[in-house]
Amino acid sequence: MLTPLELTGRAATHVVEVPELAARLHRDAVAPALALRAAAAAAGIDLAFVSSFRDFERQASIWNAKFRGERALLNRDGTPLEALKLSEPERVAAILLWSALPGASRHHWGTDFDVIDRASVPPDYRPELTVEEYTGDGPFARLNSWLGANLGDHGFFRPYLTDRGGVHPEPWHVSYAPVAGAALPSLSVEVLREAIERSNLDGRDHVLVQLPALHAKYVMAVDPA
């Protein structure tokens, strides 16, 4: 069971470094993740972890940069937005399409990570993590199909595979169900509120007023394991 500090990314006592994966993961997810990578290798896929554990401060820096217009902000169809021309509620809604609210990121748990197939792209390729890369003729379309057929055998699933009206679909986002399944209901509105109240988050006052609705739409609305 994760503590409130671990749930919200303000402690890292539950994660360990995994040099073979160049990742930091929840201790219980390490062996399954290594097995998943080995299974992918047997299918000719070089499964690379491009994001794993992320703490509150790192998530907050991403959030604040988008809120201030210092980092790309996109609408649902991927069109760039000018953050400073949007109201605070509009900016918050736009950020939440693609980036989790600090304290509410599943990456805080060490159970979730983003994956690409290094074997399908040149060494200097910079993944953008877009749906187009994982569908049609995209470089990771084969990976997408393989994940769909094999994740469950190793205890993993994809929480943002379909559009549930909150977070934009993320076929690259993989979650370890045995731990994440227990973490999600533990991340209550009250636990999240306490973390945000102690932060210097841009737009914090609006977020706190709308927190129950944001929690329901962007935290709880995920695909089942």
> Looking at domain 4-219, which of 3.30.1380.10, 3.10.129.10, 3.90.1150.10, 3.50.50.60 is its CATH number?
3.30.1380.10
- Predicted TM-score (pTM) of this structure: 0.96
Going by C-alpha positions, the residue among 112, 111, 109 that lies closest to residue 10 is: 109
Residue 89 and residue 206 in contact, taking contact as beta carbons nearer than 8 Å: yes
Q: What does each C-alpha distance from 90 to 44, 81, 83, 84, 187 come to in angstroms?
A: 43, 10, 9, 10, 25
How confident is the model at residue 25, as a pLDDT?
A: 98
How many Å apart are CA 221 and CA 223, to the nearest integer?
A: 7
Rg (CA), the chain: 17
Q: Which residues have C-beta within 8 Å of that of residue 154, sequence separation ≥ 6?
A: 32, 35, 36, 39
- Taking the C-alpha atoms of residue 20 and residue 195, their distance in angstroms, rounded to an integer, is 32
137 Cβ neighbours under 8 A, 6+ residues apart: none
The secondary structure of residue 123, as a DSSP letter, is: T
Structure tokens at 192: 């999240």
Q: Helix, strand or coil for residue 8?
A: coil
pLDDT tens digit string along 92-125? 999 999 999 999 999 999 999 999 999 999 999 9
pLDDT for res 29? 98
Secondary structure element (H or E) that encloses residue 86, with its range:
none
Round to whole Å and give the CA distance between 40 and 174.
14
How far apart are the C-alpha atoms of 77 and 136, rounded to whole Å? Answer: 17
Domain range summary for the chain, segments of one domain joined by +? 4-219
- pLDDT for res 108: 98
Q: Is 130 helix (H, G, I), strand (E, B) or coil?
A: coil
Mean pLDDT taken over the chain: 97
pLDDT tens digits for range 38-86: 999 999 999 999 999 999 999 999 999 999 999 999 998 889 999 999 9
pLDDT tens sequence across 164-180: 999 999 999 999 999 99
| Residue 214 token pair | 């944001």
C-alpha torsion 5→205→67→171, nearest 10:
50
Cβ atoms of 74 and 130 closer than 8 Å: no
pLDDT computed for residue 78 by the predictor: 85
The 10s digit of each residue's pLDDT in 196-208 is 999 999 999 999 9
Strand pairing of 15-18 and 23-26? antiparallel
